[in-house]
Amino acid sequence: MGNCVWPSSRSASPADTTPTSPGRSTPKTGSSTTTTGKLSSPSSSSTFGQSTGSSSASIDEVFPDGRILEAPNLRIFSFAELRTATRNFKPEMVLGEGGFGKVYKGCVEEKTLNPAKSGVGIVVAVKKLNPESMQGLEEWQSEVNFLGRLSHPNLVKLMGYCWEKELLLVYEYMPKGSLENHLFRRGAAFEPLSWSIRLKIAIGAARGLAFLHSSEKQVIYRDFKASNILLDANYNAKLSDFGLAKHGPTGSDSHVTTRVMGTYGYAAPEYVATGHLYVKSDVYGFGVVLLETLSGQRTLDPNRPSGQHNLVDWARPMLADRRKLARLMDPRLEGQYSSKGALQAAQLTLRCLAGDPKSRPSMKEVVETLEHVEAIKRGSREPRNTPQRSVAAEAPCRAHGRAAPPLHPGGGAARQPHSAR
């Protein structure tokens, strides 16, 4: 998570408590409570029902394939604690900013989980809701409901929350920032990702999505994109931002119907057109990110030549043709990749981008295919120096730069509903 190195910094940190419903009682810092149902929410679709508490210590080590906790096990922070943790939310502590609001760097003690003294704590990411944000309470509650109970090595850990004066969320710190930054930003801090690192990231993200889809109550992530894939110090990928997550269909239903939200360029066409959300709508989004990972290009970029603004439309004919594929591959790879592996990854991308959800592979199949690609002996040697430099890490929020716009064109940074046509 990184060490706190700034001077004279005190901070709050996560302890073993579970959330109560906002608005019903005043939390006591450090006290332990047990959830008796769900956070009050306009929609019950983002809740898990009645349950009891459970310890989350070393949960990834004990359950490497993931686990759904019986109850959220989160620290309820006071606003004063988080204000101390972030040095009064000073501008120099900002890690990033998105539709939800700003994300600040904070510091906590690793063992006692009490406010950290100068130079002895670990870094956390504190997301603070912008009062004018249109994402607001519903998505904040969704984050707590989902990430508070979902535990997997490829999901970002939610450590706690605050709703005393303002809405805040506290996450583990991801020192390498987002996949989006590494693919699209230029500069000394962002060395090109090697072929092996790209595969590692794709496999990690695929495993996280496969876990969501294979849980007893299927979870549809609904906002899979490069800026929501965060990287730890070893380039292990973790999915962040569960504000739009929903439970999947039940019984004989094939889909759930909901207002269309997400990001242009990543949302599946059937979802944008009808509001019908399938589990495999996530697979389409994964295909877009895999295409970005292969090509090093954004899904939407008006600055590209005419006919190439939409990456999926332009690249689709090249994905199944070995000779044309070389034109598509990221030139920053400098040819240091297996041509056979690249072709198989491209063919998988094409399947993920199928227009009919039924024709797309499951995420379990995606993981297996990518693992096979990773095992292929490289046709050409990769450079010895894989990226090691630290970057200005980005916490669970939208990345800076020209990210794809929200589905509603007038929505700014916030995700907005889009009327189905």
Quote the Cα angle for 332-334-336, to 5°: 120
- The DSSP symbol for 121 reads S
Which residue shows structure tokens 């295919």?
Answer: 369
Alpha-carbon distance 265 to 407, whole Å? 9
- The DSSP symbol for 405 reads P
| β partners of residue 263 | 406
CA distances from 343 to 68, 327, 330, 347, 371 (A): 36, 12, 13, 6, 14
Alpha-carbon distance 149 to 70, whole Å? 7
| β partners of residue 239 | 155, 229
Is 246 marked as a binding-site residue?
A: no
CB atoms within 10 A of CB 323: 7
The H or E element that residue 81 is part of is helix 79-85
Query: Of 16, 65, 223, 282, which is the active-site residue?
Result: 223
CA diameter of the chain: 64
Note if 356 is an active site residue.
no
Please, where are the H alpha helices in 256-399? 269-274, 281-295, 311-315, 322-328, 339-352, 363-375
Alpha-carbon distance 262 to 51, whole Å? 30
| β partners of residue 67 | 151
**Environment class of 92 (CB within 10 Å of its CB; exposed 0-12, middle 13-18, buried 19+):** exposed
**Environment class of 411 (CB within 10 Å of its CB; exposed 0-12, middle 13-18, buried 19+):** middle
| Annotation: binding site | 128
Catalytic positions are 223
| Annotation: binding site for ATP | 128
